[in-house]
Structure 1
Amino acid sequence: MNKLRNYSLAILVAFIALTFNACKKDPKPEVPEEEIGKAELTFLEVEREEHGDHYHYNPIAEAKPTSITFDSKGLPPVGTHLHLIEGKTYKLTLKSFDFANREMQQEFLEKHDIHQAFILGAPEGVLTYVYADRDKENKKINVGVTGYLTVDEQTEKGFTFRYVLRHLNPGVKAGITAANWNDVNFASKFAGANDLDLKFELHPVHDGEHEVH
């Protein structure tokens, strides 16, 4: 009887030891590199000056920025509605934050080979967007942390403006150009996942109707 008890005890001890060692060897779960919390889009009017086949964008001293904040689901405060003025150009800037409230947009610039923003929702011919990002060597890159949005036409009613920051699979960005800024088929054409998908109501209007609420 004692031998049987000792044998059972030995098996139990061995089982506990094996379980403990297996637990120690279990890999730690991967922490996503980009855990994005809230975000913010800021619109600041600038002067667009034509220079041959491109434009220069100059600051306007009296211009005041308008910012829209978004929660972790990409939603703004209820009822947010922005008016932008026909014929004007705005510097559009992204800020994003992780769940510890640390800014993250610099990481998108540093990893510009796998990130690109798409500006969606506007009827054809209403908006024009130009990427204006620079890398650490001051070379032009297309990400969408900074860009210029021109309102070409007013619309009778508003629409859902959508800012999507795409986290691209390796090698995909080589097939994307600046002209794809409003490609509605981006998800099927450019494999990856969305780091950000921000939406709000935008209404391009005639001068004198500007407001955000």
Structure 2
Amino acid sequence: MKKLRQYSVPILVALIAITFNACKKDTQPEVPEEGTGKATLTFLEVEREAHGDHFHYNPIASAKPLIITFDSKGLPPVGTHAHLEEGKTYKISLKSFDFANRELQQEFLDAHEVHQAFIPGAPAGVLTYAYADRDKDNKKINVGLTGYLTVDKASAGFTFRYVMRHLNVGVKAGIAATDWSNPDFGTKFPGTNELDLKFELHPVEADAHAH
């Protein structure tokens, strides 16, 4: 009996340790998955009014929003395409969510010194874009959560691409507002893509019927 107790004590200690570690592991909080989840781009027609060397953008009461949704891979539902009409201007608004379905727009604005959207890939002369973001002090900043897209002329359909870039520190100082469509943004402006959204866009002639 004495010999049995000598073996039982260390076994009992080991069992207690295993049980304690298992319980400790079970009570540890789960680490949320990082990265972005779904996103939407909303296009809403506005009136562009020239004021000297800049434009004012006025709402149109009857305008109806066109909303394109994207999955975590930046892709819309199969068959998604949109028609935007030449001569018209559209306010573009981004909503982006993480995997816990929390909106990320404010994070992009708060860290505007390392975030900027690019819209490359359109045929030359087809689109014009203007950034329309403001920081907490109402100062104009170039991020691309909000902007105005003008269709300057009709074109064959192409892949519309919206990229939210997380730039390396100090890179943004060398980016101009006119770089919004720079096809070499990936190499010229070092960083990583937080969002890369794509869908088929058809810039159509004025009064053309969408389908």
1:54 maps to 54
Letter in 2 for 1:159: F
Structure 2 partner of 1:4: none
Q: Secondary structure at the match of 1:107?
A: helix
Taking the aligned partners of 1:114 and 1:210, their CA distance within structure 2 comes to: 41
Change (3 A) 1:120 1:210: farther
Q: What per-residue deviation string (whole Å, max 9, x for no partner) do you get for residues 101-141 of structure 1?
A: 11111110111000000011110000000000000111000
Q: Does 1:199 align with 2:201?
A: no
Whether 1:168 and 2:167 are equivalent positions in the alignment is yes
Number of the residue aligned with 1:188? 187
Q: CA deviation at 1:211?
A: 3.3
1:69-96 deviation line (CA, Å, top 9, x unaligned): 0000000010011000000000000000
Offset of residue 207 of structure 1: 2.4
Q: 1:101-120 counterparts in 2 under 5 A?
A: 101-120=101-120
Other-structure match for 2:88: 88
Partners of 2:45 and 2:181 lie apart in 1 by 21
Alpha-carbon separation, structure 1, partners of 2:183 and 2:32: 31
CA RMSD of aligned residues (A): 2.4
Structure 2: runs of 5+ lacking an equivalent = 1-9, 22-30
SS in 1 for 2:181: coil
SS at match of 1:47: strand
Matched-pair identity in %:
71
Distance 2:38 2:81 in 1: 19
Q: Following TM superposition, by how much is the alpha carbon of 1:210 offset from its aligned partner in structure 2, in angstroms?
A: 5.0
Asked whether the equivalents of residues 86 and 152 of structure 1 are also in contact (C-alpha less than 8 Å), the reply is: yes
Deviation beyond 2 Å, 4+ runs, structure 1: 207-212
Q: How does 1:121-200 map to 2 (within 5 A)?
A: 121-155=121-155, 157-200=156-199
Name structure 1 gaps, 5 residues minimum.
1-8, 21-29
Q: Distance in 2 between matches of 1:72 and 1:211?
A: 28
CA contact (8 A) 1:85 1:210 kept: no
Give me the whole-angstrom Cα distance separating, in 2, the residues matched to 1:55 and 1:159.
Answer: 27
Q: Distance in 1 between matches of 2:191 and 2:122?
A: 23
TM-score (norm 1): 0.83
Pair 1:36-2:32 in alignment: no
For the residues of structure 1 that align with 2:46 and 2:208, how far apart are their CA atoms? Answer: 18
**Amino acid paired to 1:207:** A
Q: In structure 1, the residue corresponding to 2:119 is in which secondary structure?
A: strand
